[in-house]
Structure 1
Amino acid sequence: MLVVAAVCPCPPLLVPEVAAGAAPELDAARDACADALGVLAAARPDRLVVVGPAGRDASYPEGSGGSFRGFGVDVDVRLGREGNGGTTARLPASLAVAAWLLDRTGWADAPLEGLGVAEPTAVERCTQVGRQVAGAAERVALLVMGDASACRTLKAPGYLDDRAADFDAGVARALADADIEALRTLDAGLARELRASGRAPWQILAGAAEGAGLAGSLLYEDAPYGVGYLVAAWS
């Protein structure tokens, strides 16, 4: 059963070495992510599942490695502790950021696994995956990685789209209120047009939280670089 969840953005810029001179601009986001992970740890879960956008659907066992070398920095990460099987699976960027956040906060509270989800995944499939995640252990924690729209300003990766601010505000309200139905009914087509990578992971959260009775708290909301970043905790 899902007992706690945290929602964090997944830009590699959260890693200071990647952000370089711009690193201080995301200090507030990093601190909010640390607070959200603190909520996860306080719940003393039996298992942590980390979900993030990826190029394809795939599972990543504990010990899977990732890297930010593609962003020009010599930084490697590992998802939790080294696995017994010596896995060679490579984490997608979203889960590499999650691994960095977990290492930064010293996560050692429960075994964990990663789950990459492709953008086209339909809401029905997201709901099904969420239910499966919630049934993985008696006390499940979920770390949900994903960004809101990338169209908030003229210099944003997706250029300015007048629909982006309202879309992001709706997601922020849903996360603040732990509104499962609002997440479940997000417009997948609009999310794709606005380049909101968090849509499918958020809908997995909605499926996992069915019947859990969790309350939400929005810890951070901003759009640096024209991309919506949201941090929330459900408990």
Structure 2
Amino acid sequence: MIRRAVVVPQPPLLVPRLSPGPAPDLATLREACVAAAGTLGPVWTAVGVHTRDEVIGPDAAGSFRGYGVDERVRLSAHGTDRDLPLPALIAGWLREQAGAESVQVRLVAEGTRAADCARLGHELDGDLLILGDGSNRHGPGSPGSEDERAPAFDELVAKALAKADTEALLRLDPALARDLGAGGRVPWQVLAGTGGDWHAELLYSAAPFGVAYHVAVWERG
């Protein structure tokens, strides 16, 4: 049974060497993510979205060189180098920050239906690290260009994560999430499929760079 789950975003800027310099908002986000990951046990399963379904075992290692800096991370102490997608890189970096033993990464195709996400969530076991960003369309300078629907969408997500409202997460509209550039929809709906009684705490929810980032910790009630 899953006893703990942590929700974090996955901007490469979480990694200090990839950030442009001192930024209070970024430091607060980073601290929240590391604190949340630190509540998990020694062995994790990470869930992120990708172009196709894939499982990456804990024997993998990779680098952020594709994001401008050759910052290497491992999914366990003895990882073999390979090209890793962003969710796996962030999972590996957070594992190292938290001092965890290992993390296996489950990548889920970006177009996966809510019911199939929930089915996967029901099958998972162990401590979960859920990786995904909210809308990238907050404000005129946002990466995806401003969309007036973005604030309401991410307010709903934040409330659902703060209350462990699995039904609200399962009701997220895939088409709307895609329009708003919200890559977290699939992983959040996998989390929602775990069901059961949860106690939740929302540690962070803001859109400091035009992209919404949510950090939450769920524990079984």
Instruction: Give TM class, smaller chain.
Output: over 0.9
Question: How far off is 1:73 after superposition?
Answer: 0.7
Question: How far off is 1:128 after superposition?
Answer: 1.1
In structure 1, the residue corresponding to 2:20 is in which secondary structure? helix
Question: How far off is 1:23 after superposition?
Answer: 5.3
Q: Which runs of 5+ in 1 are unaligned?
A: 135-139
In structure 2, the residue corresponding to 1:174 is in which secondary structure? helix
Question: How far off is 1:21 after superposition?
Answer: 1.9
Between Structure 1 and Structure 2, the one with more helix by share is 1
Q: State which of 64, 67, 75 in structure 2 corresponds to 1:68.
A: 64
What is the count of residue pairs matched by the alignment? 219
Q: State which of 100, 122, 137 in structure 1 corresponds to 2:93.
A: 100
Relative to structure 1, is the Cα distance of residues 152 and 97 closer, same or farther in structure 2, using a 3 angstrom cutoff?
same
Kept after mapping to 2: 8 A contact 1:60/1:89: no
In structure 2, the residue corresponding to 1:56 is in which secondary structure? coil
Q: Does 1:214 align with 2:198?
A: yes
In structure 1, the residue corresponding to 2:209 is in which secondary structure? helix
Q: Does 1:200 align with 2:186?
A: yes
Alignment of 1:85-164 (within 5 A): 86=80, 89-108=82-101, 111-134=102-125, 140-164=126-150
In structure 2, the residue corresponding to 1:20 is in which secondary structure? coil
CA distance in structure 1 between the aligned counterparts of 2:21 and 2:31, rounded to whole angstroms: 18
CA distance in structure 2 between the aligned counterparts of 1:24 and 1:173, rounded to whole angstroms: 24
Kept after mapping to 2: 8 A contact 1:152/1:164: yes
Q: Does 1:49 align with 2:45?
A: yes
In structure 2, the residue corresponding to 1:167 is in which secondary structure? helix
TM-score by length of 2: 0.94
Q: Which runs of 5+ in 2 are unaligned?
A: none
Question: How far off is 1:112 after superposition?
Answer: 3.1
Kept after mapping to 1: 8 A contact 2:91/2:103: no
Counterpart code for 1:27: A
Kept after mapping to 2: 8 A contact 1:11/1:94: no
| Structure 2 match to 1:20 | 20
Question: How far off is 1:94 after superposition?
Answer: 1.7
Alignment of 1:75-90 (within 5 A): 75-82=71-78, 86=80, 89-90=82-83
Question: How far off is 1:25 after superposition?
Answer: 3.7
Identity of paired residues, percent? 45
Alignment of 1:27-38 (within 5 A): 27-38=27-38
For the aligned residues, what is the CA RMSD? Answer: 1.5
Question: How far off is 1:158 after superposition?
Answer: 0.8
Relative to structure 1, is the Cα distance of residues 5 and 220 closer, same or farther in structure 2, using a 3 angstrom cutoff?
same
